[in-house]
Structure 1
Amino acid sequence: MSKVMVALAQGCEEIEAVTVIDVLRRAEIEVDVVSINADDSLSVTASRGVKLEADYPWSKVEPASYQMLVLPGGLPGVENLRDHPGLIAALQARPSEQWLGAICAAPGFVLASHDLLGSATITGYPGSLGAVPSEQLSTQAVVNDGSAKLITSQGPGTAMEFALALVEQLLGKDKARQVAEPMLINY
């Protein structure tokens, strides 16, 4: 069974976080929602004031044990992700078989800030990708760079497509379509 960690930071974008968690769970993927709060608390207040409750604090998980890590965007959430030493260390030591998903400002603020993109082709929220060379940028809503094991997306409006792309990567296109159909999404 696939196992995914969604990292939540104070100020994350709630649409992106909740959409990913919901869609992956509809696909019967095991999802651990992990707060990166310094005090190990599970409560996260998202960028628009929505209260989210994580399953585990950062100190209780082993990031390398997941098949995929997902970073929602939002401000100041991505700044909190970018500045979390444990998360950055886990991303730097990411096992070669582990996938990474990043949406909105996370590709630019978190990954590019720590030189974690390599030569991957990515997308992200317009205006958040200034540190990324133009030849690596795409205007597509979702980009799956299989060689980098990295899936990126642009923002709240692309969260559903992003989440379904994560399902497709983990369980195949048929499963993504099976999850999309009852939600009335043509995938």
Structure 2
Amino acid sequence: MEAKLLQVDLNQLTISAVEKVRFREQFTQIHKKVVEGQKAAQKLESKKALDAITGYFETPENKDAPHLVLQLPISANPKAVSDSLNFVKTKMQDKSVYVFAADKGAGKVVHGCHVAQSLSAQGATPNEWANTVSSIVGGRAGGKAPVAIGNGTEAEKLEDAIKAATEYLEKFKL
């Protein structure tokens, strides 16, 4: 956002065309490096999220676990949450997973779930599960089965939301 404002200011400067071109080139180079840094940070957070999920199911005691409710070790990053749920959807279809990513300083929570076919057959839906959590952390949730994603503004209620997501599963035979 600030980059766009800076670009507008740069375009409105009353300086020689040669200097303006030089400034634009410098701005473009700096902006490119910033975007590359953001993409690298995004990839790192997505990798951390995937590692947390796969790490849980790779341990011998959790290998056959049908579900997972987990706070990811990342900031409130919607792309990383979405990437991790898409991974579960394609590589771990038999697992029901609910993940949370929060930034308490900014007051943001991103959350999402994947409902396995076995749980869906018992009446569980991703939208119902996600709305249970959204009622606690605020905001909205939705998506196309078997995945739902939401975001909220009450990061301080994260522990209650994790508890509610776990309690939702207790209604079903797992």
**TM-score normalised per structure 1:** 0.31
Could you say which structure has the greater relative contact order, defined with CA pairs below 8 angstroms and 6 or more residues apart? 1
Structure with higher helix content = 2
Rg larger for: 2
TM-score w.r.t. structure 2 length? 0.33
